[in-house]
Structure 1
Amino acid sequence: MAGLPLLPGYSLYDPTALQKPIRQSLGWKKGVPLVQASHVSLLSEEDHDDLIRQERKLQFADKGRRSRTPPKFLPEWAVLEKKVLRFSGYFTEHIDGGPQVYRIRPVVICYYLLDDAIMVIEPKTPNSGLEQGRLLSRQRVPHPDGGFWHWTQLNLGMTLSLYGRKFVVCDCDPFTKEYLVSEGTELNNPLPIPQDPYNLLRRSRAESPSRGSDLRPRSAPLAPPSLRGVVLKFDTLVEGVDCGQPAVSPAVLLYRPEDLTIELRQPSYFDHTEIKKFSPVILRALKVPLSDTRKSGFVDIGEESEVGDWIMPRHLIPPANVNIFGRRVMVVGCDDYTSQFLKDFYGVEHSPPMKNVETRKPDESGSSGKTQSDIVPRPKIRRGLLNAKDAAILRFSAKLDSPDGEENDRNFILTYHLIDDTFEITELPKPGGLGGRILSRSHVPKPPPSENEKGAGKYAVRDIYNLDDFYIGSKLDVWGRHYIITGADRYVLNYVREHENEVSPKLYSSLANFFGQVESIDQEQQKEETACGEVE
């Protein structure tokens, strides 16, 4: 069989052999896949000896000539994922109408090698007044000559045009420099970023030794720390003319020793029927000369260099008369703080206190009140924890008494607060109507008994509505609109029963009659419903 030629039809195997095994070359040992060693050597003895000699030669040969292991393969996106070229530069911004013609604004230009995108960031400067931060988000920027900007086109000292704005590239970080040089780019010499002339001007102003910490004129001396923020308050009477006759009007004089300025204000008006308003200003805060500065019939305030003597606190010790721009002002009193100030600095004992001056407001608003010498109203005294009586709120139902018949179907809820005798009015919504709050929580004065006075001036009395006026069927005059009390909550009756000695008998009897009628109506309705059920 061995000498037969290899021709078709000749069999090269033993047909009598029944098993034809294949030797297993793979196996497992202790859970690790291994390749079993072949029983037959694949190399001849000569080749095996030559391989041993080559291994020894590689082991003891010069390290510089040893073959290097090929690096692990990485795709391009993984190699360039976090590689960013960082350049520093600036751009010039022109200013219209300023002391400087332009401004220098430094920026940082980042180029991402992964997707050839560019991002421009301007470092934030404290108190710059500019919208700094990210000027250009990460994106591919078109090149003026076509295509997009590429890192091969970037170099130091060049002008980078991004969407019409020109940036001057000045320098780069060490990684960018090493990368560009390794890729064959010849870098130009770095350029310094010019200083911003506007920042230099601001720095020179801040570091100037002639500039004080406040905005006073340079001729005005700095006040000692003990007088800074001190305000002296005097009660005064200002002489004037009303309809050709001499008249006197009250005013409050505020004196600031820090800058020797005087301010005149009208006293605050107080009225429980309106919102507290600020005091109108008669004379804004300025320095007043001690002598009369009127020239040719008009008032001349004058410059500080021309006027030497100013009104000082010693000229305002009550009682005193001072001339403020041709108007005689009589100082009649001062507050406690001012009295202590005059005692400490001038040795004045027992200064007259400020007085409350009773006056009437003009009849334009129709209300009247007190004119006090305090500029700022004293805050309302707030109570601590409220007792059950003060925290109680009583609710009444009411209707509008109007000659117009279309408004008689409007229903209202009057919420009365026992703590301060205030109430608010809310209209119940109906189909086609809005409803909502009609009157905010406030005191409402009663109209005077006489009906001769007309207009808003008839509410000039200080008597206000209280709980005794909210009996069933009473008519309340709320700023010219009449409301009729038609009902109340059951809680109102329970409260009146507990405090029967504190309320009027008319209120108690009206509530008892009202709820008695309501109970009788409910009983009749229950009887009718029971009768209807039996018939069915």
Structure 2
Amino acid sequence: METVSNSGHDLPFLPGYSFNDPTKTTFPRSQTLGYRNGYACSVLPVGASKECLHVNQLFQEMKNKKPTPTYEESKQVPPSEFVPAHVAFDKKVFLESQGIELNPPEEMALDPYTELRKNPPRMFVTPSDFDQFKQFLTFDKKVLRFYAIWDDTDRMFGETRNYIILYYLADDTVEVREVHERNDGRDPFPVLVKRQRLPKILVENSKSFPRCVLEVSDQDVQEWYTAKDFAVGKPVTMLGRTFFIYDCDKFTRDFCRDKFGLPEFPTIDVSKKPPPVIKQELPPYNGFGLIEDSAQNCFALIPKPPRKDIIKMLMGDNKVLRYRAVLESPIPEDKGRHFIFSYFLATDMVSIFEPPVRNSGFFGGKFLTKTKIAKPGSSLDKPSFYGPGDFYIGALIEVFGHRFIIQDADEYVLKYLESHADKYPQSTILSLKNHFSKPKSKTEESDSAPTPENVEMETVIKHIQERFKNCISLLEGPVYEAFQVLDKENTGSVDREKFCGVCKNFNIPVGDFLINELIRLCSSDKGKINYNNFIKAFS
């Protein structure tokens, strides 16, 4: 059994037989790591002097101690190389210290202006025999004037502009001026290229030369523009813009002929041709109103009424040609219908009136208001309307899908056409003459024999028409329509009170002797008045 020496007493190494040495006063520890309160912590070692030993203390002592040779003199340590602060803290030094490799330094780009300012090597150039001073004295105030255009119509919103190219013979300079017109919408800055020498061909090495910064020198230009490069009919490209020369002045023509032996320059016509005229087509007629009136909506945003022939209106005022026609229709009920055509010479308009017939099944009255009737097949550009020459006996008149046949006319129609025989066809006049020259049969004469009452009524109507001729045409339609509204049974007669009420509404002078006499002739024994006979005085 092992024994442990404890304070000089050898006791067996058994549990309970381990005692601390009471004579021991220092307790050095062999480790520097331990645990305290469950956390790992470092503890500095304790030396024999009961002082804590620092970790780097021995290293610092060994570093500061310089070795000394035993048998020879000590050598001096070479001083370290001095490094300035701006180098020691440079970005490259820092990056290289961190292990980052950088590219080698590059040379700085040359400045064209700085290089030009350097003293160039001396070059010996043979002077030219050309005397610029002599050229100035000879050609001073002599300028070649060329007229050119720049066509930019290939681009979007491009246009053609006029320019004047001035070539100064005194110093071989060129100036380009733009020709401005009044109200052309451009600022009044005529100079496009100021007076300067223009290069024609540049040397190959000068393509990358910054001409926007420095002026072009003679070393950068292989050939300059001269007077030979400008000629009529020849395009010229200057500073990236191509001009076409189409004319020049008289001095320029004489100079080019005498100096260069060129023939006479012809003037080239560069005027812009007008665009083709687009024919304006009118839309199809919709049937409302007159064709001339409806067409005004296609000519202007705010339509205006068509112009009227004032002379014709004055000459044809109150002149009306009347015709009697029948309706051509496959419907049996339409065969007995008669119509009165009224042709107004002042406006070339036609109105159609259907006389009311009792127990016919038709109300009668106004069939068509005053309007122009176009012939079938007429175009909208040049419409052809019916005229007095088209209304002959037996003529077929087509009115908006209805077909009428002319059977009779007033004698005034024949008199009017004969007085203006040069304006109307002779066939129309001849048909009316033959119609009025036919003898009537005995039955027609007996049927048409006037009675005393009819003669008296016709006389009164004639006097009324002569007396109230200015307002007769205005009362025909409205008065008849008012009577029809009151005559609900369509008997052709109304009561005396209703009759007087209508006359009062239309300001018909009932108290007048002629009007009162006509009312008496139209009255019946039952106290009613036949308004059909009364309306004849206003038709």
TM-score by length of 1: 0.29
Kindly indicate which of the two structures has a greater share of residues assigned to helix: 2
Question: Max radius of gyration: which structure?
Answer: 2
Where is the strand percentage greater, Structure 1 or Structure 2? Answer: 1
The one of the two structures with greater contact order (alpha-carbon pairs below 8 A, sep at least 6) is: 1
